Amino acid sequence: MAALEGAGTGEGAGSAAQDRAAPPVLSISGLKTQFGTSVIHENLDFSVQPGEVMGVVGGSGTGKSVLIRTIIGLNKPTAGRISVFGRDLAGLNGAELMAMRSRWGVLFQDGALFSSLTVAQNIEVPMKEHSDLSPALRQELIDVKISMVGLPPDAAHKYPAELSGGMRKRAGLARALALDADILFLDEPTAGLDPIGAANFDILIGDLQRALGLTVVMVTHDLDSLYAICDRVSVLVDKRVKVGTIDALMREPDPWIQEYFGGPRGRAAAGSAEKAGTQPAGTA
Ligand SMILES: Nc1ncnc2c1ncn2[C@@H]1O[C@H](COP(=O)(O)OP(=O)(O)OP(=O)(O)O)[C@@H](O)[C@H]1O
């Protein structure tokens, strides 16, 4: 990883506002994850800068979802250190961890909404858990979040089963942003959407990232998303991570990386990004 970390200096497609000189928002060092005898990550090191959109890719089973779950504390690292806003997560007490959790939002693949709650009630869950806002203020904020993710106002009273897949993802995003998060973790946000729905969701994430100054860490299989909104990409391969701009990664001899970015799908995504005038990450 070290050879590539910070390899590209060009601004990416996502967030021109990222500050490479500032202390990282997220810093991972020597991370090892093991389940029984199965080692998933070995000695991972990487960091994410404020305002950066970091993609996370890798073959099936390389531990992309486990990485996100480990960062947000749902899985305990076997070894290594995870720091967010300069604080080692392992050193936080319960109250500090709770406060830290209110600074990030998470959107899992299926939106992970509570099926027995309406969209408004789903968005209200983190507000109730992490804030002492009055019910009236919560209601006002819920309306703002619903509109922010491009849902119609009447979506507030609908149950997840009454929404399309794309709308469910938007509702999940509204819930992830319920508390004005600084960091957004997204696990396969465009999975299951048709290409137009996926492209629209990428645009929404890019717009929100810029408008709110978010730092985004996004697991994806979607090459179009990588080109459209990511500044750099972390590739999980052989239990390790290689981090760089797409441009820098394409110079990596690793066969999986070559196939992924240089294969037919990678070339098609690069071609459509060029046609659409989207600047591929790190090729400035
Ligand atoms: N709690 C757990 N206990 C044991 N093994 C686990 C656990 N969670 C994940 N794994 C294993 O860790 C490996 C990585 O899983 P993960 O879901 O992170 O893969 P992924 O890279 O996200 O894959 P995909 O692209 O297919 O979704 C898999 O082999 C999985 O079976």
For the residues of the chain, what is the DSSP string, one character each?
Answer: -TTTTT---S--SS-TT--SSSPPSEEEEEEEEEETTEEEEEEEEEEE-TT-EEEEEESTTSSHHHHHHHHTTSS--SEEEEEETTEEGGG--HHHHHHHHTTEEEE-TT----TTS-HHHHHHHHHHHH----HHHHHHHHHHHHHHTT--GGGGG--GGGS-HHHHHHHHHHHHTTT--SEEEEESTTTT--HHHHHHHHHHHHHHHHHHT-EEEEE-S-HHHHHHH-SEEEEEETTEEEEE-HHHHTT---HHHHHHHHSHHHHHHHHHHHHTTPPPTT--
Q: Give the pLDDT band of residue 9 (cuts 50, 70, 90).
A: very low
Mutation test of ligand 1: which of 33, 39, 40 has the most ligand atoms closer than 8 Å to its C-beta? 40
Q: Is 74 in the pocket of ligand 1 (CB under 6 A)?
A: no
Residues 258-279: tens digit of each pLDDT: 999 887 777 777 777 777 666 5
Q: What is the pLDDT of residue 278?
A: 60
Band of pLDDT at residue 66, cut at 50, 70 and 90: very high
Q: Is the CB of 64 under 6 A from ligand 1?
A: yes
- CA of residue 61 to ligand 1 center, whole Å: 5
- pLDDT given at position 11: 42
Which of 32, 35, 240 should be mutated for ligand 1, with most atoms under 8 A from CB? Answer: 35
Ligand 1 contact via 61 beta carbon (within 6 Å): yes
Find out whether the beta carbon of 35 lies less than 6 Å from any atom of ligand 1.
yes
Protein residue with least CA distance to atom 9, ligand 1: 66
The model carries a pTM of 0.88
Q: What percent of the chain is predicted at pLDDT more than 70? A: 88
pLDDT digits (tens, 9 = 90+) for 114-129: 999 999 999 999 999 8
What is the per-residue pLDDT across 177-204, written as a single tens digit (0 to 9) for each?
998 899 999 998 888 888 888 888 888 9
* Ligand 1 proximity of 40 Cβ (cutoff 6 Å): yes
Q: For the residues 77-95, what does the mean pLDDT come to?
A: 93
Cα(82) to ligand 1 centroid in Å equals 19
